[in-house]
């Protein structure tokens, strides 16, 4: 069984779309996606620097576009029936489109609203931040976050938790990490997937109200709990609510193992999720799409596992 994974914010790199645009049809595909957003996907995907594409309002639609562009290069007729599809955080929007719940253009339009609303929510709150906690005993990490009123915003598995909350509390966590753990503050606009993002829900819900979802054509997993989502309305509602709730990628990987996933394709800009899978889903072969040079390996894996 094949799993197709879409990475989340932080995976973007300067110029990441440039090599893909050399392939036939990709430029036209990007142009059609661009019509659904107010973000200049071509410029930001080829010429903008790291600081520019770190902006949440730019990064999110850019990542979803990269996922959809690269996925079509592997699956010209869509993700194979019976495959598992999942995305990390903003990657859920690409996953929803690949699973047939919403059209690609709807995914771009909706994620554009999401990115802008999350950026606005971060700007209007007290200073907030996020930090990766690597290693440490799970109980000690949980206790340290609770003591500082921090949220485990991303529980990624493999001993990686991303804490989020007040900037002062994140600074305290960095200065005094849990025993046997390393803490690295992340360059983000605010505390994503926490209560600080609650103001973004209304804007996203309003935008989603104009979308008519359909039933998933693949096995779609939810970040909320790793559950299989079988209803289009439920899938869309989960996309809206997830903006202010923790990502449980650990549960998504557990569910993939339970479902019998035997091969993984991580669409562009790949690398992060396959790295986590190597630590948690040991022995499951994976291909991360970083450039078109990875397409042959991806297609071979699809032939063997789809």
239-289 confidence digits (pLDDT tens): 999 999 999 999 999 999 999 999 999 999 999 999 999 999 999 999 999
Q: Is 209 a catalytic site residue?
A: no
Residue 306 banded pLDDT, cuts 50, 70, 90: confident
Q: Is the confidence at residue 183, as pLDDT, over 90?
A: yes
Q: What is the pLDDT of residue 266?
A: 98
Q: Is 88 a catalytic site residue?
A: no
Give the count of beta carbons closer than 10 Å to the beta carbon of residue 271: 14
3-state SS, one letter per residue, for the chain: CEEEEECCCCCCCCCCCCCHHHCCCHHHHHHHHHCCCCCCHHHHHHCCCHHHHHCHHHHHHHHHHHHHHHHHHHCCCCCCCCCEEEECCCHHHHHHHHCCCCCHHHHHHHHHHHHHHHHHHHHHCCCEEEEEEEECCHHHHHHHHHHCCCEEEEEEECCEEEEEEEHHHHHHHHHCCCCCEEEEECCCCCCCCCHHHHHHHHHHHHHHCCCCCCCCCCEEECCCCCCEECCHHHHHHHHHHHHHCCEEHHHHHHHHHHHCCCEEEECCCCCHHHHHHHHHCCCCCEEECCCHHHHHHHHHHHHHHC
Q: What is the pLDDT of residue 189?
A: 83
The residue assigned the tokens 């990475």 is 7
Kindly compute the dihedral angle of the four CA atoms of residues 190, 191, 195, 200, in this order, to the nearest 10 degrees. Answer: 40
The CATH superfamily assigned to 2-122+194-305 is Malonyl-Coenzyme A Acyl Carrier Protein, domain 2 (3.40.366.10)
At a CB cut-off of 8 Å and minimum separation 6, what does 28 contact? none
Residue among 31, 89, 15, 100 at smallest CA distance from 65: 31
The residue that leads in pLDDT, 175 or 189, is 175
Q: What is the pLDDT of residue 187?
A: 82
Segment 95-122 shows an average pLDDT of 96
Distance of alpha carbon 289 from alpha carbon 306, whole angstroms = 17
Task: Determine which one of 34, 89, 129, 222 is catalytic.
Answer: 89
Specify the CATH class of 126-185 in words.
alpha beta
Q: What is the pLDDT of residue 268?
A: 98
Q: Is the confidence at residue 140, as pLDDT, over 90?
A: yes
Q: Is the confidence at residue 188, as pLDDT, over 90?
A: no
36-76 confidence digits (pLDDT tens): 999 999 999 999 999 999 999 999 999 999 999 999 999 98
Task: Determine which one of 29, 44, 88, 193 is catalytic.
Answer: 193
Residue 89 banded pLDDT, cuts 50, 70, 90: very high
Q: Is the confidence at residue 17, as pLDDT, over 90?
A: yes
Q: What is the pLDDT of residue 264?
A: 98
189-233 confidence digits (pLDDT tens): 889 999 999 999 999 999 999 999 999 999 999 999 999 999 999
Structural domain spans, the chain = 2-122+194-305, 126-185
pTM of the model: 0.95
What rounded mean pLDDT belongs to the chain? 96
């Amino acid at each position: 069984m094949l799993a197709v994974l879409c990475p989340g914010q932080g995976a973007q790199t300067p110029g990441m779309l440039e090599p893909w645009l050399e392939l036939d049809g990709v430029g036209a595909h990007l142009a059609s996606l661009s019509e659904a957003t107010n973000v200049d996907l071509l410029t930001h995907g080829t010429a903008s620097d790291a600081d520019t594409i770190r902006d949440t309002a730019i990064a999110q639609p850019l990542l979803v576009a990269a996922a959809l562009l690269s996925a079509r290069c592997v699956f010209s007729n869509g993700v194979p029936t019976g495959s598992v599809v999942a995305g990390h955080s903003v990657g859920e929007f690409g996953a929803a489109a690949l699973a047939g719940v919403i059209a690609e253009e709807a995914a771009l339009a909706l994620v554009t609203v999401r990115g802008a609303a999350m950026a606005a929510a971060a700007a209007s709150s007290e200073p907030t931040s996020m930090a990766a906690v690597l290693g440490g005993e799970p109980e000690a990490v949980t206790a340290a976050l609770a003591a500082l009123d921090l949220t485990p915003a991303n529980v990624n598995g493999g001993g990686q938790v991303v804490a989020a909350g007040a900037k002062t509390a994140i600074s305290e966590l960095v200065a005094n990490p849990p025993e046997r753990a390393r803490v690295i503050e992340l360059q983000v606009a605010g505390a994503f997937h926490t209560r600080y993002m609650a103001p973004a829900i209304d804007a996203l819900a309003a935008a989603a109200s104009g979308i008519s979802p359909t039933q998933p054509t693949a096995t779609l997993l939810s970040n909320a709990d790793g559950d299989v989502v079988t209803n289009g309305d439920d899938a869309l509602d989960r996309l809206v609510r997830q903006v202010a709730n923790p990502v449980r990628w650990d549960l998504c990987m557990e569910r993939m193992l339970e479902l019998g996933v035997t091969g993984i394709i991580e669409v562009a800009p790949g690398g992060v999720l396959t790295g986590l899978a190597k630590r948690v889903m040991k022995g499951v072969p994976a291909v991360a799409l970083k450039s078109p040079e990875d397409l042959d390996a991806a297609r071979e894996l699809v032939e063997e596992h789809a």
